[in-house]
């Protein structure tokens, strides 16, 4: 069967991990005896009408585009998904892996990529419901993941707020400081705990420029403002230290919320795009009395939400999706 790969769901520079991943998927499709078609492989410049019109039964793309993101790469992704759903076409999408603070960073030789239908967030379909524990157990050993019981906090343990960049597609143009002010107004009347704010590493300098917009009773953690090479990776690892003694983590839908839930820190999210949504707390009024849902099946399903480059290249991933979709 023909399978369309929409090359312009990544940047036109024709290099980098996301561009290479689409080439690897083409290898995997060929390994299954099918025919990958690279759509607009050499096209550059402005986004044109009908550029993202799918015609094959299955297509592939990278990332996601929010409803408010109408420009460039994110807009093309959104357009492709909308057109595909209207025609009953399945779109397989990829994004960076989860559990990054435990070690699943893009520089790891066994980096696992998220693979799902239409979106790499909770509104996508990873075809992972009710999965067995084998892949989760493998990932625990690979990165020494600390899967711990829910933590019951002490009286003065802080609450950590995890910010995300406005231009990140999962924020859909929501300003992170405006988001924080909104949740602050809802949570502060319910608790006297210390508030810690952790900016995203991509926006450290931007948050520092606006630091006076935060309430005075909040400690904004401004560390290194510019990262190069593996430095951002170590900032991600530092997240484990940051949450170790927290009462709770609060974020919009950051993938860091997956790591905090795995670690056993009660996690509150304000968007149902969060992959931890099934085991997260949603009512900010309950910040002092969080729920502690069972997580075992949820972590087992995580094992089937992400796959290695080798599994993408050798056809394991495409074969799995193709069979589960009935082709």
Left if phi > 0, otherwise alpha if psi is -120 to 50, otherwise beta: which for 36?
A: beta
Tell whether 294 and 313 lie within a shared domain. Answer: no
**195 located within any domain:** yes
Q: What pLDDT, in 10s, does the model give residues 118-141? A: 999 999 999 999 999 999 999 999
Tell whether 297 and 314 lie within a shared domain. Answer: no
Structural contact between residues 68 and 167, judged by C-beta atoms closer than 8 angstroms: no
Q: What is the mean pLDDT of residues 147-173?
A: 88
**140 located within any domain:** no
Using a pLDDT cut of 90, give the percent of the chain over it.
72
- Does position 66 have pLDDT exceeding 90, yes or no? no
Q: What is the mean pLDDT of residues 188-209?
A: 89
User: How many structural domains is the chain composed of?
Assistant: 2
**200 located within any domain:** yes
Buried b (16+ CB within 10 A) or exposed e, 165-180: bbebbbbbebebbebb
- Maximum alpha-carbon separation in the chain: 61
Tell whether 30 and 119 lie within a shared domain. Answer: yes
User: What is the Cα–Cα distance from 226 to 96, expressed in whole angstroms?
Assistant: 21
**141 located within any domain:** no
pLDDT at 230: 54
pLDDT at 223: 67
Tell whether 260 and 313 lie within a shared domain. Answer: no
Tell whether 89 and 173 lie within a shared domain. Answer: no
- Does position 285 have pLDDT exceeding 90, yes or no? yes
Tell whether 49 and 72 lie within a shared domain. Answer: yes
Q: CB-side exposure of 143: number of CA atoms within 13 Å?
A: 26
Structural contact between residues 170 and 273, judged by C-beta atoms closer than 8 angstroms: yes
Q: What pLDDT, in 10s, does the model give residues 233-252? A: 445 558 888 899 999 999 99
Strands lying side by side in the sheet with 218-220: 218-220, 195-198, 159-162, 248-251, 267-269
What is the token pair recorded at 264?
């056993």
- Does position 281 have pLDDT exceeding 80, yes or no? yes
Split at pLDDT 50, 70, 90, the class of 202 is confident
Structural contact between residues 107 and 228, judged by C-beta atoms closer than 8 angstroms: no
Residue-averaged pLDDT of the chain: 91
Q: Judging by beta carbons within 10 Å of its beta carbon (0-12, 13-18, 19+), is residue 21 exposed, middle or buried?
A: buried
Q: Where would I find the beta strands (DSSP E) of 180-303?
A: 195-198, 218-220, 248-251, 267-269
Tell whether 170 and 84 lie within a shared domain. Answer: no
**139 located within any domain:** no
pLDDT at 71: 65
Tell whether 16 and 45 lie within a shared domain. Answer: yes
**152 located within any domain:** no
Range of the domain at 112: 2-128+305-324
Tell whether 101 and 166 lie within a shared domain. Answer: no
Q: What is the mean pLDDT of residues 13-28?
A: 90
């Amino acid at each position: 069967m023909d399978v369309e790969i929409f090359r312009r769901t990544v940047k036109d520079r024709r290099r980098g991990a996301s561009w290479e991943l689409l080439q690897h998927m083409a290898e995997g499709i060929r390994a299954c005896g099918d025919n990958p078609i690279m759509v607009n492989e050499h096209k550059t410049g402005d986004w044109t009408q009908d550029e993202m019109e799918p015609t094959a039964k299955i297509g592939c793309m990278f990332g996601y585009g929010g409803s408010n993101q109408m420009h460039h790469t994110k807009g093309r992704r959104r357009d492709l998904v909308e057109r595909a759903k209207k025609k009953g076409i399945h779109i397989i999408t990829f994004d960076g892996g989860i559990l990054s603070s435990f070690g699943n960073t893009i520089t790891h030789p066994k980096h696992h990529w998220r693979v799902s239908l239409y979106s790499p967030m909770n509104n996508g379909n990873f075809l992972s419901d009710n999965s067995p524990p084998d892949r989760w157990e493998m990932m625990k050993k690979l990165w020494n993941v600390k899967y711990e019981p829910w933590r019951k906090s002490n009286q003065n343990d802080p609450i950590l707020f995890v910010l995300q960049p406005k231009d990140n597609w999962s924020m859909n143009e929501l300003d992170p400081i405006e988001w924080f002010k909104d949740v602050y107004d809802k949570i502060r009347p319910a608790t006297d705990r210390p508030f810690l704010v952790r900016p995203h590493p991509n926006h450290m300098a931007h948050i520092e420029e606006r630091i006076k917009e935060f309430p005075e009773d909040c400690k904004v953690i401004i560390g290194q403002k510019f990262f190069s090479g593996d430095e951002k990776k170590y900032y991600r690892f530092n997240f484990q230290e940051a949450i170790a003694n927290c009462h709770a983590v609060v974020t919009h839908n950051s993938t860091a919320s997956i790591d905090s839930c795995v670690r056993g820190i009660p996690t509150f999210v304000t968007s149902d795009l969060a992959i931890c949504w099934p085991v997260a707390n949603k009512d900010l009024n309950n910040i002092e009395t969080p729920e502690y849902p069972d997580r075992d099946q949820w972590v087992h399903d995580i094992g089937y939400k992400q796959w290695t480059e080798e599994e993408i290249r050798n056809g394991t991933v495409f074969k799995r999706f193709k069979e589960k979709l009935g082709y």
